[in-house]
Amino acid sequence: MTDTIASSTGEAFRVVRNPHAATDAERAEKLRDLAFGLQFTDHMARVTWTADEGWHDRRIEPYGPIPMDPAASVLHYAQEVFEGLKAYRWADGSIRLFRPHANAERLQRSAWRMALPELSVDDFMASIRALVELEHAWVPDAPETSLYLRPFLIGTDVFLGLRAPKRVDYLLIASPSGPYFPGGIKPVSIWVERDYHRAGPGGTGAAKCGGNYAASLRPQMAAYERGFDQVLYLDAATGSVLEELGGMNVFAVRADGTVLTPIINGNILEGVTRSSVIRLLEDQDLKVVERDITLAELRQGIEDGEITEVFACGTAAIVTPVGRMASTDFDVTVGDGQPGPVTAAVRERLTAIQYGRAEDPYGWMHRVL
Ligand SMILES: *Cc1c(COP(=O)(O)O)cnc(C)c1O
């Protein structure tokens, strides 16, 4: 069965319906006790780009394997960039996205860095609208759940030489999800990594590319084995300045109410949550300073009580308190190891806006249905 979903902005997406879509009962079963990123909806959006035709063939098709040639460039040279954002079910039944244009624009910046073609903001928005409209029943309504959206670009050029791909596919998949860290707002422990770096000057730290994550798995595994939840990376040039976690930006709260976060320097991924948190803190009359933060300053500050809270933030895990930080030469508890008041308040404020429990004075929420 084929029809089209017209779009108010971009071009229309053709719909090829999944003949094996979940029944209402099967879907209800899958939406029970949701974890993060394990369940997927019945369909996905797709747009193909070729050097000759540009972006074309906008469609929604059954979710499933994507056959590709074994010489496809993504499989050899990691020509991949992605995004992550959530669709929230409000109490009135409507479905809203959080600042989706920021993700669309960041996907373009990431694509540029990896010599992939940029998808227009209109196509990005139209793909989400078309998929979410079709899959609206998959947007869960239990507390702390959402439909996690994963747009990505892959080079599907069939060529083993190294060049900017002449064929690329954009795909959008959707995963009804529960909390990234189950068990409510529980502080995480962080290992400060000394041997490995996430990004370096002139590298790809500012691009949301899969390769950055592949390189983070070995240090992440080592941290798990030591009993830590996450890794904090330092700058590659001096090994002394805080950058970010593997997939989250970091903040430190001082006893005088000032909040510090590493400045965007080309190595750090510029989080949508990060910029939203800065805005929310400033509107609570807290002073936010974006600058270099040395590990020595952070560690000393935590030890002498100058720094009272540390938290990490990103779309998947929202705002997550850090209760303990350690490395080869130190091990400190942040505050009393429990979520601090600034962390708890900004998390509550942000999620209240996202789930429609509070007014959105910023125009951040974007209605889809
Ligand atoms: C995605 C990501 C973040 C968080 O960005 P959000 O837009 O807030 O989700 C932070 N750091 C890295 C490395 C990331 O990939």
**Secondary structure (H, E, C), 23-74:** CHHHHHHHCCCCCCCCCCCCEEEEEEEECCCEEEEEEEEECCCCCCCCCEHH
State yes or no: pLDDT of 10 exceeds 80: no
**Ligand 1 mutation pick, 269, 315, 319, 320, max ligand atoms within 8 A of CB:** 269
pLDDT of residue 353: 98
Which whole number is the average pLDDT over 35-52?
A: 97
Is residue 360 one of the residues assigned to a domain?
A: no
Listed residues 153, 177, 201: the one ending a domain: 177
Q: Which two tokens stand for residue 2?
A: 């084929």
State yes or no: pLDDT of 122 exceeds 90: yes
Query: At 34, which CATH number?
Result: 3.30.470.10
**Ligand 1 mutation pick, 220, 248, 272, 364, max ligand atoms within 8 A of CB:** 248
Is residue 182 one of the residues assigned to a domain?
A: no
pLDDT of residue 7: 54
Same-domain status, 53 and 159: yes
Is residue 297 one of the residues assigned to a domain?
A: yes
pLDDT of residue 181: 79
Is residue 366 one of the residues assigned to a domain?
A: no
Per-chain mean pLDDT for the chain: 96
pLDDT band for 8, please (50, 70, 90 cuts): low
pLDDT of residue 179: 87
Is residue 231 one of the residues assigned to a domain?
A: yes
Same-domain status, 302 and 334: yes
CA-CA distance, 297 to 288, in Å (whole number)?
Answer: 17
pLDDT digits (tens, 9 = 90+) for 291-317: 999 999 999 999 999 999 999 999 999
Domain of residue 80, residue span:
2-177
pLDDT of residue 192: 98
Q: Which two tokens stand for residue 175?
A: 């995963």
CB-neighbour burial class of residue 359 (10 A; exposed 0-12, middle 13-18, buried 19+): exposed
Same-domain status, 224 and 111: no
Same-domain status, 198 and 347: yes
With a Cβ cut-off of 6 Å, ligand 1 is lined by: 84, 208, 244, 247-249, 269, 271-274, 314-315
pLDDT of residue 185: 83
* Nearby residues of 128 by Cβ (< 8 Å), 6 or more positions away: 45, 87, 97, 100, 149, 151, 172, 368
Same-domain status, 337 and 305: yes
Question: Is the pTM here over 0.85, yes or no?
Answer: yes
Which whole number is the average pLDDT over 218-222?
A: 97
Is residue 183 one of the residues assigned to a domain?
A: no
Distance 341 CA to ligand 1 centre (A): 23
Strands, DSSP E only, in the chain?
Answer: 2-5, 13-16, 43-50, 54-62, 80-82, 85-89, 95-98, 146-155, 167-177, 188-192, 230-234, 242-245, 249-254, 259-261, 288-290, 307-314, 318-327, 330-333, 365-367
pLDDT of residue 6: 57
Share of the chain above pLDDT 90, in %: 95
Same-domain status, 172 and 192: no
Same-domain status, 243 and 217: yes
Total of domains in the chain: 2
Is residue 57 one of the residues assigned to a domain?
A: yes
Is residue 232 one of the residues assigned to a domain?
A: yes
State yes or no: pLDDT of 164 exceeds 80: yes
Which whole number is the average pLDDT over 153-160?
A: 97
Q: Nearest C-alpha to atom 5 of ligand 1 is from which residue?
A: 271
Q: Nearest C-alpha to atom 12 of ligand 1 is from which residue?
A: 247
Query: Relative to the CA of 212, which ligand 1 atom is closest?
Result: 13
Q: Nearest C-alpha to atom 2 of ligand 1 is from which residue?
A: 247
Same-domain status, 139 and 266: no
User: How big, in percent rounded to 5, are the helix, strand and coil portions of the chain?
Assistant: 25, 30, 45
Q: Which two tokens stand for residue 343?
A: 């962390």
Same-domain status, 170 and 192: no
State yes or no: pLDDT of 99 exceeds 90: yes
pLDDT of residue 11: 78
CA-CA distance, 78 to 129, in Å (whole number)?
Answer: 28
Same-domain status, 10 and 130: yes
**DSSP code of residue 189:** E
Same-domain status, 168 and 218: no
Distance 177 CA to ligand 1 centre (A): 17
Place of tokens 């990896």: 114
Same-domain status, 170 and 224: no
**Ligand 1 mutation pick, 245, 249, 270, 320, max ligand atoms within 8 A of CB:** 249
pLDDT digits (tens, 9 = 90+) for 172-212: 999 999 988 776 789 999 999 999 999 999 999 999 999 99
Share of the chain above pLDDT 70, in %: 97
CB 335 within 8 A of CB 198: no
Query: Relative to the CA of 273, which ligand 1 atom is closest?
Result: 8
Closest of 273, 347, 364 to residue 83, by C-alpha: 273
Query: At 204, which CATH number?
Result: 3.20.10.10
Q: Which two tokens stand for residue 55?
A: 């972006």
pLDDT digits (tens, 9 = 90+) for 223-258: 999 999 999 999 999 999 999 999 999 999 999 999
CB 97 within 8 A of CB 147: no
State yes or no: pLDDT of 61 exceeds 90: yes
Which whole number is the average pLDDT over 315-343?
A: 97
Which whole number is the average pLDDT over 140-165?
A: 96
Which whole number is the average pLDDT over 59-77?
A: 97
pLDDT band for 9, please (50, 70, 90 cuts): low
